[in-house]
Homo-oligomer: A and B are copies of this chain.
């Protein structure tokens, strides 16, 4: 009998956004059951969250460390299998490392850490522990992102020439970060967010998607990081030129001051024979354009999908699957890997390290006068 895996959560108290998403994603397919948590350092908030989630009050812990200790002390088969870390960025590394060392698998919100050095420390801890480390590069969980990736890899478009990725939001158009919005506040605080503001929060998603789908590695970049809102301490707008191995050229645009935009992550890849376009806000459609024949609209659940795409779908064509389902695919892949299933995939250590190196190269380039900065990664995927 396939038992649901047991999950403990760090962060995600009432009012937080991403914690609730992790919980829905984990619950969706019955692979996970949330049984423990250290949701908030505010005792009342912590207790209320646990109560609302129907947890046993004894497994709602006052601190992350307390959770690790108490859970590790439980008999095998009753303790948690993994922790989900959904705190601000600066806590990712210490928590992940502690959990890995305590023998738990870790599924962590992105970015991996607030510096490349921290990220490497996580990588080493994961390596040493033999535990899985998953990272919520959610957008790679969309079925049609997998379809896009597989088609590029199969050579449908010939050699790739162009990669264009953009991620436009508008929610930081005003200085809400200094006016009490918690989400905005920590994301624009270098101590809690790290080197990049918009860059770390959504630029990393864009970069990850571009490399993940194109199968290419950016060799060098030229960046322009900007702070548009007076008083803000981290970039709220990012532009970059990219040069990929093999000669492809790329552009990356990410902004949190594109007023009126929602969550506009869009990827386009063009090769010798045609190109593809995928947009997160209509995630069930993948447009393919061709030199010599009409464009095709590949649809979730429709004809023409690769087998790996179909496995990520839950409903027939025309029944929209969304963000929570994409997220659920990561949790499903993570569970499958823990269970040792063949072919299980989820974004992890290599994806995290790569994006941390990207952030550091972007920040370095933007501060200087040189046109190109290499993107170097110590650990290969």
Contacts and interface: CB of A to CB of B under 8 A. Distances in A.
Interface stretch (A48-56, A70-78, A80-88, A103-111): A48-56
A193 to B, nearest CB: 18
A161 interface: yes
A326 B2 CA distance: 28
A8 to B, nearest CB: 16
Interface string A1-28: 1111000000000000100110110011
B260 A295 contact: yes
Interface stretch (A204-212, A316-324, A343-351): A316-324
A170 B259 contact: no
Contacts of A320: 280-283, 320, 322-323
A53 B31 CA distance: 9
A315 B324 contact: yes
A370 interface: yes
A257 B371 contact: no
A303 interface: yes
Most buried by B among A161, A271, A368: A161
A283 B315 CA distance: 15
A314 B258 contact: no
Contacts of A287: 297
Contact of A2 (B52, B228, B274): B52
Contacts of A282: 282, 320
A239 B237 contact: no
A224 B289 CA distance: 25
A23 B30 contact: yes
A324 B270 contact: no
A3 B319 CA distance: 30
A236 to B, nearest CB: 9
A251 B53 CA distance: 45
> Number of contact residues on A: which range applies?
35 or more
Nearest to A224: B241
B290 A259 contact: yes
A262 B371 contact: no
A321 B323 contact: yes
Contact of A224 (B20, B243, B292, B316): B243
A124 interface: no
Contacts of A340: none
A272 B173 contact: yes
A280 B291 CA distance: 20
Nearest to A18: B315
A295 B294 CA distance: 9
Interface in A246-260: 247, 249-251, 253, 255, 257-260
19 contacts: A2-B52, A3-B54, A23-B30, A162-B237, A174-B291, A239-B241, A240-B241, A257-B270, A259-B273, A260-B291, A262-B317, A294-B296, A294-B298, A294-B299, A295-B302, A296-B296, A319-B322, A368-B371, A370-B371
Interface of A: 1-4, 17, 20-21, 23-24, 27-30, 51-54, 157, 161-162, 164, 166, 169-171, 173-174, 222, 224, 226, 228, 237, 239-241, 243, 247, 249-251, 253, 255, 257-264, 270-275, 280-284, 287-299, 301-304, 314-325, 368-372
Q: Which 5 A-B pairs have the closest CB atoms?
A: A263-B318, A260-B289, A262-B318, A320-B322, A319-B323
